[in-house]
Amino acid sequence: MAGAAIAPVREDEAGGAPEVARRSRVSGIDRALQIFDQLRDTGRPATAYDLAHSVKAPLSTVYTIVDDLVDKGLLQRGEDGTVWLGPRLYHYGLAYERSIDLMAIAKEEMLDLNRELGETIQICGRDEDMMVVLAMAEGRDHFQVTSRVGSRVPLNWVASGRLLVGHLPQAERVEIFRRCSKASPTGRAELNPETLAIRSAEALSERLSIQAGESAYSVACVAAPILDRKGACAATVSVVLPDFKVAEARERYAEAVRLSARRIEARLGWGGQG
């Protein structure tokens, strides 16, 4: 009898039996996801009874799944018997976050903005007391941009430089600009650290920084910050173009870089900053 009972399972290994098991396994995963989603959406711990009622599942099923998830660290149980998201989920989240490449996403948006505007677009970051060009897509005309990928310039020369430290405390911004500010080739870059610190914070608050002729003659830059979850400026996206174009269509370029920065933040899951 034992052999007869086992035989049909073997015969159905390529057909019905695995399909039944697969349906059962998927159903269990779906229930677990419903529990996670419910806890996330309500934002507070819940009992297995409340979860079963909310996801419209049999109480016995939810009790079994909850116990299993608690055992595996995917949920944690409080002293009052309620459950909440567990520490193992946090570690998975960290691993996912590490896998997201800021530059890969920023470069895609950079190319889109380059096609839209036809101007040179740069992604810039901070390297200690300098701004560095991390990526660049050249414009369609013959306008020459002196800063190439890898170029490093003092923070006080460029629009992006102000944004990259705008989230820091006032005293720290003042100290940075006091230490790093240098005269630019045009002689028009601001050197006063207190003034730069104030303008830096204002630019970050407005999510926009514009400079014209400070680092190079007849060259303007319109930049927007890419803010992480904490509101720190992780990088900037900017359009570099002749200064007369900014005078003619300031709002067009300002809105374009702001929207591009917002899209990058959204794709990284960093949205929500002011």
Q: What is the pLDDT of residue 269?
A: 86
Asked if residue 143 belongs to a domain, the reply is yes
Q: pLDDT tens digits, residue range 77-106?
A: 999 999 999 999 988 877 776 666 888 999
Closest CA to 176 of 244, 123, 128: 128
- Which 8-state DSSP code applies to residue 133? E
- 233-242/130-137 β-pairing: unpaired
Residue found by looking up tokens 């409080």 in the block:
78
Q: What is the DSSP string of 17-40?
A: HHHHHHHHHHHHHHHHHHHHHHHH
Domain total of the chain: 2
More confidently predicted of 223 and 7: 223
**Same domain (yes/no): 14, 146:** no
**Same domain (yes/no): 150, 54:** no
User: Across residues 159-172, what is the average pLDDT?
Assistant: 95
Last residue of some domain: 97, 114, 144? Answer: 97
**Same domain (yes/no): 58, 105:** no
- Please check whether residue 168 is in contact with residue 155, taking contact to mean a CB–CB distance below 8 angstroms: no
Q: What is the pLDDT of residue 95?
A: 76
Which H helix or E strand runs over 218?
none
**Same domain (yes/no): 255, 145:** yes
Residue found by looking up tokens 């104030």 in the block:
198
Length of the chain: 274
**Same domain (yes/no): 180, 91:** no
Low-confidence winner among 154-158, 183-187, 215-219 (lowest mean pLDDT): 215-219
Asked if residue 85 belongs to a domain, the reply is yes
CA angle 147, 150, 154 (to 5 degrees): 65
- Total-model pTM: 0.66
Q: Look up residue 53 and give its two tokens.
A: 């009622």
**Same domain (yes/no): 124, 56:** no
Which CATH number goes with the domain that contains 24? 1.10.10.10
Local confidence band at 146 (pLDDT 50, 70, 90 cut-offs): low
Q: What is the pLDDT of residue 123?
A: 95
Q: What is the CA radius of gyration of the chain?
A: 27
Say whether pLDDT at 61 is over 80: yes
- 152-154/83-85 β-pairing: unpaired
Say whether pLDDT at 125 is over 80: yes
Say whether pLDDT at 196 is over 60: yes
- Please check whether residue 265 is in contact with residue 273, taking contact to mean a CB–CB distance below 8 angstroms: yes
More confidently predicted of 116 and 27: 116
3-state secondary structure of 219: strand
Last residue of some domain: 50, 82, 97? Answer: 97
Which CATH number goes with the domain that contains 264? 3.30.450.40
**Same domain (yes/no): 87, 104:** no
Last residue of some domain: 81, 97, 113? Answer: 97
Q: What is the pLDDT of residue 72?
A: 93
Q: pLDDT tens digits, residue range 223-261?
A: 999 999 899 999 999 999 888 888 888 899 999 999 999
Helices then strands, each counted (H, E), the chain: 11, 8
Sequence-distant contacts of 8-13: CB under 8 A, at least 24 apart: none
Tell me the average pLDDT of the chain: 85
Residue found by looking up tokens 């909310």 in the block:
54
Asked if residue 274 belongs to a domain, the reply is no
Local confidence band at 140 (pLDDT 50, 70, 90 cut-offs): confident
Say whether pLDDT at 9 is over 50: no
Asked if residue 145 belongs to a domain, the reply is yes
More confidently predicted of 73 and 142: 73
Structural domain that includes position 46: 2-97
Rounded to whole angstroms, the Cα distance separating 77 from 67 reads: 9
Q: What is the pLDDT of residue 17?
A: 44
